[in-house]
Amino acid sequence: SCAVPAAPSILRRSRARRAGKRVRFAQVTVYYFARRQGFTCVPSAGGSSLGMAPRHHRARRYSLSQFAHLRQVSHRQHLRQHLRREKLRARRRELTQNGTVPSAEAAGLTLADVSDDDLDVGQVEVGDYFYLQPLPTKRRRALLRASGVRRIDAEERQELRALRLSREQCGCLCRLTCEPRTCACSQAGIQCQ
């Protein structure tokens, strides 16, 4: 009985082939766009949606390590601003009577009154915190004005409100059984919701 040499494994061959075909990135290109009033997104409340210009005005290239550092610094700055706003709200609440009667002292406080020493930035992990934060209408309007938008379309607020309402009213009004004569779903040619 002579020994037959083992055939090379198909699995090993495919792994060897795949090992040489990896995608590696060396740079990140970041495109910068001017802010515009959105008209394409629907904020959860109010008007003045944020959007961007159709074309970028600047592009920058970074190495992967530069970009990672840049993001970390940016996220830490956003976190500081968020914590500063939270601390300001807390101080204003403390200076009012049970949060119902505002005092002159509370109204006079600004973000400048909250120092970096008052913030517990070290207690919060930046990676755990950072995600897109919803912005109140006032802040969105301020961002648009700071970006050079001179005229903010006030009608957008009503249009966005109508869109939000229409999204809440989904399906038909049928209960237990479908009434095809009055069912909006059935009349639209879809299964009753």
Convert the pLDDT of each residue in 52-94 to its tens digit.
889 999 999 999 999 999 988 888 887 888 778 887 777 777 7
Place of tokens 């919701």: 193
Instruction: Give the pLDDT mean for 33-43.
Output: 84
Q: pLDDT for 98-119, tens place per residue?
A: 666 667 776 777 777 777 666 6
**For residue 43, how many other CB atoms are within 10 A of its CB?**
19
* pLDDT score of 4 more than 60: no
Q: Which of 11-15, 25-29, 64-68, 136-140 has the lowest mean pLDDT?
A: 11-15
Q: Which residue has the higher pLDDT, 102 or 148?
A: 148
- Residue entry with tokens 């109140």: 136
Task: Answer with the residue of higher pLDDT: 105 or 190.
Answer: 190
CA atoms of 120 and 118, how far apart (whole Å): 7
The Cα–Cα gap between 193 and 180 comes to 12
36 or 75, which is more confident:
36
Indicate if the pLDDT at residue 129 is higher than 70.
Answer: no
Confidence bin at 166 (pLDDT 50/70/90): confident
Inter-CA distances, 27 with 31, 63, 65, 125, Å: 13, 5, 9, 26
Confidence at residue 30, expressed as pLDDT on a 0 to 100 scale: 94
What is the pLDDT, as a whole number, of residue 182? 84
Measured in degrees and rounded to the nearest 5, phi and psi for residue 84 equal -65, -45
